[in-house]
Amino acid sequence: MTEPSGNEIAELRRKISVLEQDVQHLVSHDQLTGLLIRSALLKRVERHLAEGRASGQQCAVIEIGVRGIPRIAGALGRHVGDYVISALAARLSNAIPSDCLICRLDYWSFAVFLPRISDALEALTTAKRLIELLDQPIDWVERTLTVEAAAGVALDTKLDTDAALLVHRAGLAYKAATEKGGPGYAFFNPALEQAAKRRQDVQLAVHEALEKHYFSLAFQPYFNAASGELAGMEALIRLNHPTLGFISPAEFIPVAEETGAIQKIGAWVLVEACRVAANWPPHLLVSINFSPEQFMSGHLLSDVHNALELSSFPAYRMEVEITESTMLGDTEMISSQLTALRELGCQIVMDDFGTGYSSLSYLWKFPFSKLKIDRSFVQAMDTKPQVKGMMRTILDLARNLGLKVTAEGIETVEQAKMLRDHHCDFIQGYLCGKPVPEADVAAVIMTRFAASLRNMQAPPEELPAAPLRFEF
């Protein structure tokens, strides 16, 4: 066998070098778009940061997310979603200078590294330009596809920022940019990092609360507006963590919904609320708030059956409170579960009526028995006369549909009078009674029973005013 010549060895080495470059490109670039992957971006940004700090040059990372791609992929197929991603990647590649870096972060988001910027305004201007570029429609076969872009910008602080932290902060800014009412772009600020840390702490607290039984229920009474008699109580979940202290439901419920913990929490609330209410006089109802995620879990009906059976609690004494956001999901799936609950005997309540879309079609498509008017309407009656007219219209509408109405957020005697005079069925709020722990529920029930006895002994001519003599 003859020895290879020098030219052959050189050619072999060249081929090996090309092969190594191809392999390196494959492991550092996204196969669909040809853009850098996250790990490759971080390595290159780290080098740029070291060089830039030596020269005093400022840099920035922009995360750009595109909403609408899952919808397109779900309707037309994953291959169409991939086509859109490729088209957007090509737009980005053609729109930025060659010394910038572009990375595909995940299925529908990208990162752009700007190695040299004069100031924050330049980074913001670039972000807005890229948003406008990606927002342009995409032609596919005989269709025009539309998406919506948003961007978050993080600047190098030249202090403690490494590549991973810079990309992470751009992601936090992007999340802030996608919140409702925002302009579609946002800068990172330390408050976003603090909020992210707090969210992580709350997530851990929710997990601990499920394991170590830190959750509890409070009960807020509501009353018959005409007679002043106690009609029932709303079960409200509370979380008092041993290290974080009291955490508002407005803070931990969204976290529980995102992490999937809401199904276990909701099942626990059902069992506890029925257990407590089973000891009340048989005419009192218990209202329980249901998350949209509970309806999507597939366990809701079995959870309700289980809670009712454990306490031998009759279904007709349970009010199922849902918000309009619940009905924005799988309409058929939601409707079938609500119908099953109504057939079981539960009463279905639309909570926070008037704060969302308030589509009138909801009122006849779903088996509601009651509307619950949001506190914002009640509070606005004091300062905006037109709201009183809206309130009367809502009450008339409910009456014509055969629905009861509860108004929440009652804080003044004047509000209670107005609602009673316009035949609102039930009232709830701090004027009537604040939420109380389980241990104090019996005292609330006895107090209202004593007030009812006094009312029964009052002269007939005083009866119309009697409800407002109660200790609301």
Our CA dihedral for 353, 355, 361, 364, rounded to 10 degrees, sits at -10
**d(C-alpha 258, C-alpha 255), whole Å:** 5
pLDDT of residue 50: 80
At 464 the pLDDT is 40
Q: Which residues contact 350 (CB under 8 A, 6 or more apart)?
A: 322, 323, 324, 362, 363, 366, 368, 370, 371, 372
End-to-end CA distance of the chain: 106
pLDDT at site 25:
53
Residues 69 and 108: beta-carbon distance below 8 Å:
yes
β-partners of residue 109 are: 65, 106
Q: Which two tokens stand for residue 383?
A: 């300062």
Q: Which residues on adjacent β-strands are paired with residue 140? A: 143
Q: Which residues contact 253 (CB under 8 A, 6 or more apart)?
A: 237, 262, 291
- Burial string for 193-224 (b: 16+ CB within 10 Å, else e) reads eeeeeeeeebbebbebbeeeebbebbbbbbbe
Phi and psi for 244 in degrees, rounded to 5?
A: -90, -15
Rounded to whole angstroms, the Cα distance separating 224 from 368 reads 19
In the chain, the domains with their CATH numbers are: 28-188 (3.30.70.270), 198-469 (3.20.20.450)
Read off φ and ψ for residue 219, nearest 5 degrees: -130, 120
Q: Report d(CA 313, CA 279) in Å as an integer.
A: 9
Which bin fits 463, alpha (ψ -120 to 50), beta or left (φ > 0)? alpha
CA distance 61 to 123: 8
Which single residue is written with the structure tokens 């009861």?
404
Would you write out the chain's pLDDT as a tens digit for each of its 472 residues? 566 666 666 666 666 555 555 556 556 788 899 999 999 999 999 988 887 666 778 899 999 999 888 888 888 899 999 999 999 999 999 999 888 999 999 888 999 999 989 899 999 999 999 999 999 999 988 889 999 999 999 998 776 678 999 999 999 999 999 886 667 899 999 999 999 999 999 999 999 999 999 999 999 999 999 888 999 999 999 999 999 999 999 999 999 999 999 999 999 999 999 999 999 999 999 999 999 999 988 899 999 999 999 999 999 999 999 988 787 766 788 889 999 999 999 999 999 887 665 567 778 778 899 999 988 888 888 888 888 888 888 899 899 989 999 999 999 888 898 899 888 999 999 988 999 999 999 999 988 766 655 554 555 444 344 343 444 4
- Spatial strand order in the sheet of 148-155: 101-106, 109-117, 58-67, 148-155, 185-187
Cα dist from 219 to 19, 216, 346, 412, whole Å: 70, 10, 19, 20
